[in-house]
A and B are shown apart, each in its own frame.
Chain A
Amino acid sequence: MRARLSPLLAAGLLLALAIAAPAQAQVNTQSEEQERTQGAGAGDTANAPVLPAGGPFRALDLYPPRNFGYLLGDAIRHEIEIALDPAYHIEPASLPRARALTYWLNLQNVRLEDLGIREGTRRYRLWLDYQTFYAPLEPKRLEIPALTLTASDGIRSTDAKVPAWSFVMTPLREVAGSASGEALRLRSDIAPANVPTRRLVTATIGAAGVALLALAALAAQFGWGPFRRMRARPFAAALRAIRRAGPELDSSSTSSDSPVYRDALLALHRALDATAGRRVLAEDLPGFLDDHPDYRPAAPELETLFAASRRLFFAADAGSAGTLLAPKAVPGLARRLSAIERTAA
């Protein structure tokens, strides 16, 4: 539990520090400005840092880049290595803030890396990213001002100065341009490179194909569009079923209590149900004919069908059912209804 808490505590502490740091930095800004003006006044000093003797600073090394050949807008990175007594640490508030230092110089970024304690020395590395916007008319020496860092052990604190650094900036072009001004003529744009899209196109076409197939499957399932006619022919399906049942029905010897006759009547009932979209009972026949007037010519046959199926299914009287609607007449009735269905659709 405690082990789990300690990183949390450390993080909390860091957070508090981070919140405190900018506030302190603001306070220190003024003194820093003073330092800088002093540094500038001191003139072109060497890169050697000014270290208070006997202080906690054991080393403060500035590693600047080349000090010539800079143009308008160039970035300059200073890397500073700091060695301290292990008891001391760099006061974060003493670090410069990223801001516009002068009208031509911006401090873009400040980063301090704690390298930890090695061989009895605490080491830091500090990066300062400057950007110059000076537009010289001729090569000109400029100076990045000095800055002061503070080391503290919690009670005492000591300052050390990072020296000013000077460099030479060069104009981009001559002051008086050549007469024709050809050098400044805009060049045509670089032709854009082709982005490789073959794979994307292939994938798109493939996905579209899959989507179309899925749509087709869905349409078949729900009976949309071209599949509608296929679905909407229940009597054709009934006729097929009755034909499958075979020539048995056609032969005059088939009696009306055979299962083939039963199945044939059931197939016709199911086709009627499917056409109406609900179950059609004998009493519903007039309503069915009102909804589907195409079947009106077959009304007497349909009445016979219902009368026969009533006798067969509900009176268990296959004999009179067969008399009403002979088994061999069933395929004919199915053909008749299927023909009506085709013309109606």
Chain B
Amino acid sequence: MQTQSVASPAAGSLAPSTTGPQPGTSLLANPLLATWRERALAFEREVGKAVLGQERVIRLITIATFARGHVLLEGDVGVGKTTLLRAVARAIGGSFSRIEGTIDLMPADLVYHAHLGEDGKPRIDPGPLLKQAGDLSIFFFNEINRARPQVHSLLLRLMAERTVSAFNRDYFFPHLQVFADRNRVEREETFELPAAARDRFLMEIAVDMPAQADARRRLIFDPRFHDIDALMEEVREGVLDPTQLDTVARAIQTGVTASPVLETYVTALWDAVRDPAGHGIDIPGVEMDRLVMGGASPRGMSYLVRAARVRAWLDGRDMVVPEDIRAVFPEVMAHRIFLDPVYELRRDALVAELIAGVFATVPAP
């Protein structure tokens, strides 16, 4: 995923050689969006200093940040999920808090901190979630699937409403963005996230090994990547201002338009995902009329368009095109599609094929 300069916002190789109004002029006309696009690209560059070969993941996290959505990272052990999240938190700026999921972690451990004071008396202080109170901009949840369902439901409310009840009152976190990660290798002593909690995440991003051999070599041999703390120092702090992100996100959502043709397209995609057999999508060895049991909620579809708008803005366009939808579709929609239990074990491969089939079938424009 390549970044482009603002000077030629019309999508790279597709820029027509003919004269005429350049697509995206109206976006440049809005100085707020133009300058913030610069800052977003700078943010990507800063995170890219610490994390090698994950350009797509960084771009998706940028999209999620400007769509004000929560992100669940999924991947093997040691691919750099935590490093990535630390770099992202540092580059976004603002205060952040972090907690590790364990099997005995209870909701109260997130909210309260119980200890013995210097005078020997028991004390209850605000826990990791409340410490920074309203300023909290990023909340990390490492190994979220190790926490119990009680914790998940606390998180449900935190993500959906950005509030938590504690000390007999509600705490409000206006700028909060939740990042969670889980590794998909271990299954012992873990709790599957409930569908409702997963639906609250804007994206589920799979973090894989870097594909390029060069990046892999550097990750192994370059001492720079061995000292994570020193690596973090290189990332410039506070490239984005979390208190302003909401305003920018609103401006993006109103500034980038979706035409009626695109609305038709997205609706057709939705239909095709829910009824692949009716749209002639075929996956070998799969009974298409029972593959999809449901899902692809309206909230999911609205998230999809939200993310697509941000992607269009990052590409310097003031309109959403089908490519934007396609670029964010797997991460936003895959975890919202519910398969027949028979096919659940092969979920990753089947959903990828289903999505590829949907995009190969639904006509655009």
- Write the residues of chain A forming the contact surface with B, with a CB cutoff of 8 angstroms: 265-266, 269-270, 273, 277-279, 281-283, 285-286, 300, 303-304, 306-317, 320, 323-324
Contact = CB atoms under 8 A, between A and B. Distances in A.
A8 B212 CA distance: 84
Given A310-B23, A323-B21, A278 B321 contact: no
Given A303-B16, A307-B14, A324-B20, A315 B319 contact: yes
Contact of A278 (B19, B322, B323, B360): B360
Interface stretch (B176-184, B197-205, B258-266): B258-266
Contacts of A308: 16
B362 A313 contact: no
A273 B365 contact: no
A277 B10 CA distance: 27
B13 interface: yes
B323 A279 contact: no
Contact of B23 (A266, A303, A315, A316): A315
A315 B319 CA distance: 6
A269 B359 CA distance: 15
Contacts, number: 86
Interface in B8-47: 10-11, 13-21, 23
Interface residues of B, number: 32
B318 A315 contact: yes
A314 B262 contact: yes
A277 B363 CA distance: 12
A227 to B, nearest CB: 20
B21 A303 contact: no
B365 A320 contact: no
A237 to B, nearest CB: 15
Interface in B234-263: 257-262
B326 interface: yes
14 contacts: A265-B365, A269-B364, A281-B321, A281-B364, A282-B14, A282-B321, A303-B16, A304-B17, A304-B18, A309-B365, A314-B262, A314-B319, A320-B21, A320-B23
A300 B20 CA distance: 15
A277 B357 CA distance: 11
A240 to B, nearest CB: 19
B364 A320 contact: no
A281 B323 contact: yes
Choose among B16, B321, B323, B365 the residue with the greatest number of A CB atoms under 10 Å from its CB: B16
B320 interface: yes
B360 A279 contact: yes
Contacts of A304: 16-18
Given A310-B321, A313-B261, A314-B320, A279 B20 contact: no
Contacts of A314: 258-259, 261-262, 319-322, 365
- Of all A-B residue pairs in the complex, the 3 with the closest CB atoms, nearest first, are A313-B365, A278-B360, A323-B20
Nearest to A284: B323
B163 interface: no
B363 A306 contact: no
Nearest to B365: A313
B361 interface: yes
A273 B363 contact: yes
Given A313-B261, A313-B365, A324-B16, A282 B21 contact: no
B217 to A, nearest CB: 28
A279 B269 CA distance: 13
Nearest to A312: B365
Nearest to B363: A279
A317 B257 CA distance: 12
Contacts of B361: 278-279
B256 to A, nearest CB: 11
Contacts of B260: 316
A80 B330 CA distance: 94
Interface in B327-365: 359-365
Contacts of A306: 14
